[in-house]
Amino acid sequence: MKPMRKLTIVAALICSMITWAQQTPALAQKGAFTIMNATAHIGDGSVIENSIIVVEEGKITTIADATTVKMQPKGRVINAEGQHVYPGIIAMNATLGLVEVDAVKASDDEREIGTYNPHVRSVIAYNAESRVVESMRPNGVLMAQIVPRGGRISGKSSVVQLDAWNWEDASLLTDEGVHINWPSSFRRTGSWYNPGPIEPSKDYEKQVRELTDFVNNAKAYNATESKTGLNLKYAALNDAINGKQTVYFHVDGEKGIRDVLNFINKNGIQRPVLVGAREADKVAKTLVAMKVPVLAGRTHSLPSAEDEDFDLPYKFPKMLADKGVLVALENSGDMERHQTRNFPFLAGTVAGYGMDMEEALKLITLNPAKILGIDDKYGSLEEGKMATLFISKGNALEMMGNVLTHAFIDGREISLDSHQTELYERYMEKYGLEVKR
């Protein structure tokens, strides 16, 4: 090979590596900064129309009405007049960083082989340099619950912030919950192009019994002081059984939900959460009495039955919230990783179908933080909490208004660039159009 040709190939490879590289994570906050004159959406349902927010050492030290509190700004001043400040959005039940390209097997690490995998830890497979993860931040999605998929027990989820060098730096809450995929009590016959009727699943009772036996065996194993050998799978369920970890039940349908609630009672599950939970509104009183939160399934979806209202997915979270259930949103399904950037608009859709806009904001900020147990640090704009927030030119829950100018994770100002913004600028320049950021 000629030297010049070798040099050209090396240069091309270097350019390719640079093109694929993620932005360098932001440095720790140095010095205070103050956000002035913005409309602050606190995240707990309240709003401060003309606010002053002071951030020092990564935390909010002051948030108040600028018209009534007389104080001088500290450090750098960001004049956000006419703009809006929101707490960072938390994407629940996401697989960000576990798969980069579905068709490339080497980049797919969202599930493990086998049926019962409570010992699997999603966080160690999390790719902090994922370009998909990077594309969440321009829409205000700054944190995520990373969840494994597959099997009857998928494994353990963790909470990460979306601007980090590696999974250790990204982790906010490690191994916070175990995920159980409850058996389906019904199955759809036919094919995708010619669906048949829905009928009861013949294996449902058998599958429930197998899951029950596995949990009972794990309880017996962990209660035994003199163990003959190490069983990683049984040992991994110990914290969930003892109430130190949350147990997430991925379940749909009234019968399945009632059976899950019965399972929770019989096995003394102290921190249960339902995920998806279609038809949970039919057992809302029981959910409230048992204090079981719900991660409502994807808002941007079609009704699952012919006799359901066309707008049921849009109003389902409000139906639960109105009955007193603690509700947050999740977005699992087709193209779920890339669709995670739509979390603010899922809440916006719920607001468009009857819920107050500030209550809808809670579905993706404070309520997820409460379910995860991190509401003492995240989920709302309050003094003493971490400064994980963003500034938007308009209503962040609406597509036209969600235009971010600044974003911060623990007080660090992060990049809002991504592969999509680079392409946008490239082609706007190509056609001689003004770049609007």
Segment 350-380, tens digit of pLDDT: 999 999 999 999 999 999 999 999 999 999 9
pTM of the predicted model as reported, rounded to 2 decimal places: 0.92
Closest listed residue to residue 241, CA positions, set 118, 348, 142: 118
**Rounded mean pLDDT, 265-288:** 96
Q: Which fold has domain 89-378?
A: TIM Barrel (3.20.20)
Name the band, by pLDDT with cuts 50, 70 and 90, for residue 2.
low
Q: Which spans in 112-185 are helix H? A: 131-134, 167-170
Q: What is the pLDDT of residues 314-328, one digit of tens each?
A: 999 999 999 999 999
Closest listed residue to residue 281, CA positions, set 318, 331, 233, 332: 318
**Rounded mean pLDDT, 261-290:** 96
Q: Which fold has domain 20-88+379-437?
A: Urease, subunit C; domain 1 (2.30.40)
Long-range contacts of 352-358 (CB under 8 A, 24+ apart): 352/314, 353/311, 353/314, 353/315, 353/318, 354/315, 354/318, 355/317, 355/318, 355/321, 356/45, 357/395, 357/397, 358/41, 358/45, 358/46, 358/47
Question: What are the CA-CA distances from residue 52 to residues 69, 79, 81, 401 (Å)?
Answer: 9, 10, 11, 21
SS3 305: coil
Q: Where are the domains of the chain?
A: 20-88+379-437, 89-378
Name the band, by pLDDT with cuts 50, 70 and 90, for residue 3.
low
Question: What are the CA-CA distances from residue 288 to residues 111, 180, 282, 297 (Å)?
Answer: 32, 21, 12, 18
**Rounded mean pLDDT, 101-120:** 92
